């Protein structure tokens, strides 16, 4: 039986032939630990232009921590970059790059420990990491070592797990970022803003419900708690201008992009679910497919598209079996095109159901939110897997690959 919450973000199906067991993750913050594996090309220089911080964060949302760090250093948050966004509930070790001269002693933020400081001439961009190392405990009755080992073996026999975008991609509490993104892509900015402020599917707080009934930004500003900084910024903009279309200018650029990217991720999940349902084996290439060469972490090597045809199918399937290639499907954008043959039929079906076209991802009012599209591998494997007792496992994944998409294979569906 499919999980309704997963279906709502496009996720359906599991690869393991071994049934999962009852359990949960993140019951305790310490149950989920993730440490970035930095890009080795980031070299250190004593007089480097940028200050790098390796910081251990406990239960911090990446965007909120960026704002707090910028305030602590008395600089614009635009001068701070990072390699990867992490989920709030857990312990994370992340790298931040600051375009400023400062002393790490200036940083006194609760639940944030500076582990290392150095300077470099390398400008840190999103994705500038090899991958992430995870230590995760599953809460379940009794010792589950045998179950965990059997399911892990089943995943590896299948050639890896479906590379879904995990639930956290769509919001930590209100899983609706893809809905907001769809409204932006469709040009319905009013609906996008109203859904961000109040979504009846998730919101029960009185102050949100009142806004849903009145749509009065001035009154809502009196009600919304100060901690909801982004909501208050949006409401303030609407109160002053009455302009919903311009309201997203009140967001930091990376947060605005999150909505459009979430919608791309939702479409990707739907296409992957449909492919899995139709094919079963996610590592079987058929003519019309497009593959990428990958490294040991399943990161694309050069993003050169390798097209599958009837003459090279056997060779490509052999290279997939050797973990040198992986099949891909599109992250839809304005430069995307349909894949040929069987895979293209799946993509066309989902796009028609979504009632969305490639050119709509060029966002007229917000060019910075536009996305030309990309491709993403459809399956991946964990590296350096260890079972350490107490239902705890350690493993590494390439950048952008979600631990929760691996872990869901272990957990029984309701």
Asked whether 327 and 162 are in contact (CB, 8 A), the reply is no
Q: What is the pLDDT of residue 183?
A: 93
Asked whether 134 and 403 are in contact (CB, 8 A), the reply is yes
What is the mean predicted confidence (pLDDT) over 359-380?
93
pLDDT tens figures, 37-88: 999 989 999 999 999 999 999 999 888 899 999 999 999 999 999 998 887 8
Q: What is the pLDDT of residue 307?
A: 97
Phi/psi for 12 (5° steps) reads -155, 130
Other beta carbons within 10 angstroms of residue 161's beta carbon come to: 25
pLDDT tens figures, 129-139: 999 999 999 99
Distance CA 304, CA 314 (A): 19
Between the two ends of the chain, the Cα-to-Cα distance in Å is 7
What is the mean predicted confidence (pLDDT) over 347-370?
93
What is the mean predicted confidence (pLDDT) over 354-375?
92
What is the mean predicted confidence (pLDDT) over 342-366?
93
pLDDT tens figures, 291-337: 999 999 999 999 999 999 999 999 999 999 999 999 999 999 999 99
Count of residues making up the chain: 414
Mean pLDDT (the chain) is 92
Distance CA 170, CA 271 (A): 17
φ/ψ bin of 96: left (φ > 0), alpha (ψ from -120 to 50), beta (otherwise): beta
CA distances from 97 to 53, 130, 176 (A): 6, 16, 30
Burial of 216 (C-beta count, 10 Å sphere; 0-12/13-18/19+): middle
> pLDDT class for 171, splitting at 50, 70, 90?
confident
What is the mean predicted confidence (pLDDT) over 32-40?
95
Active site (catalytic) residues: 87
Q: Record the pTM.
A: 0.92
Q: What is the pLDDT of residue 174?
A: 85
Distance CA 140, CA 151 (A): 15
Q: Would you give the distance in Å from CA 174 to the centre of its chain?
A: 15
What is the mean predicted confidence (pLDDT) over 149-172?
94
> pLDDT class for 414, splitting at 50, 70, 90?
low
Strand 306-307, strand 325-331: pairing:
unpaired
What is the mean predicted confidence (pLDDT) over 141-163?
95
Distance CA 14, CA 53 (A): 38
Strand 32-38, strand 91-98: pairing:
parallel
**Where does 32-144 have alpha helices with state H?**
62-73
Residue 251 scores a pLDDT above 80: no
Residue 113 scores a pLDDT above 90: yes
Contacts of 401 (CB under 8 A, 6+ apart): 131, 163, 298, 380
Nearest to 379 by CA among 321, 335, 337: 321
Asked whether 136 and 144 are in contact (CB, 8 A), the reply is no
Instruction: Give percent of the chain with pLDDT exceeding 70.
Output: 99
> pLDDT class for 413, splitting at 50, 70, 90?
low
Q: What is the pLDDT of residue 74?
A: 93
CATH class (in words) of the domain with range 274-380: alpha beta
Largest CA distance in the chain: 67
Please give the CATH topology (third level) of the domain spanning 40-127. Answer: Pseudouridine synthase (3.30.2350)
Q: What is the pLDDT of residue 1?
A: 55
What is the mean predicted confidence (pLDDT) over 265-284?
96
DSSP for residue 396? E
Q: What is the pLDDT of residue 87?
A: 78
> pLDDT class for 352, splitting at 50, 70, 90?
very high
């Amino acid at each position: 039986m499919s999980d309704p919450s997963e279906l709502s973000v496009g996720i359906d199906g599991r690869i393991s032939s071994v049934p999962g067991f009852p359990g949960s993750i993140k019951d305790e913050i310490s149950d989920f630990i993730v440490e970035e594996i930095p890009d080795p090309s980031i070299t250190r220089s004593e007089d480097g232009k940028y200050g790098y911080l390796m910081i251990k964060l406990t239960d911090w949302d990446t965007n909120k921590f960026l704002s707090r760090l910028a305030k602590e250093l008395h600089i614009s948050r635009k001068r701070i970059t990072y390699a990867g966004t992490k989920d709030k509930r857990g312990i994370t070790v992340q790298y931040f790059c600051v375009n400023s001269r400062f002393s790490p002693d200036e940083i006194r933020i609760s639940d944030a420990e500076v582990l290392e400081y150095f300077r470099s001439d390398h400008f840190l961009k999103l994705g500038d990491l090899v991958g992430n190392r995870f230590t995760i405990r599953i809460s379940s009755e009794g010792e589950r070592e045998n179950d965990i080992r059997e399911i892990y073996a089943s995943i590896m026999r299948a050639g890896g797990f479906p590379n879904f975008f995990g639930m956290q991609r769509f919001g930590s509490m209100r899983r609706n970022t893809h809905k907001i993104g769809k409204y932006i892509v469709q040009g319905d900015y009013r609906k996008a803003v109203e859904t961000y402020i109040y979504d009846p599917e998730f919101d029960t707080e009185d102050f949100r419900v009142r806004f849903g009934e009145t749509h009065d930004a001035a009154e809502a500003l009196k009600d919304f708690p100060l901690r909801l900084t982004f909501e208050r910024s949006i409401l303030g903009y609407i109160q002053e201008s009455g302009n919903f279309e311009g309201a997203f200018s009140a967001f930091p650029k990376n947060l605005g992009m999150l909505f459009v990217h979430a919608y791309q991720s939702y479409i990707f999940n739907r296409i992957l679910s449909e492919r899995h349902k139709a094919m079963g084996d996610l590592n079987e290439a058929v003519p019309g497919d497009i593959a990428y060469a990958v490294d040991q972490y399943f990161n694309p090597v050069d993003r050169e598209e390798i097209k599958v045809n009837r003459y090279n199918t056997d060779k490509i399937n052999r290279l997939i079996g050797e973990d040198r290639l992986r099949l891909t499907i599109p992250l839809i954008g304005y430069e995307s095109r349909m894949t040929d043959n069987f895979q293209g039929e799946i993509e066309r079906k989902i796009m028609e159901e979504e009632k969305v076209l490639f050119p709509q991802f060029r966002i007229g009012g917000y060019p910075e939110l536009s996305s030309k599209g990309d491709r993403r591998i459809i399956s991946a494997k964990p590296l350096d897997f260890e079972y350490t007792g107490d239902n705890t496992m350690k493993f590494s994944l390439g950048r952008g690959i979600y631990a929760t998409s691996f872990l869901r294979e272990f957990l029984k569906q309701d």
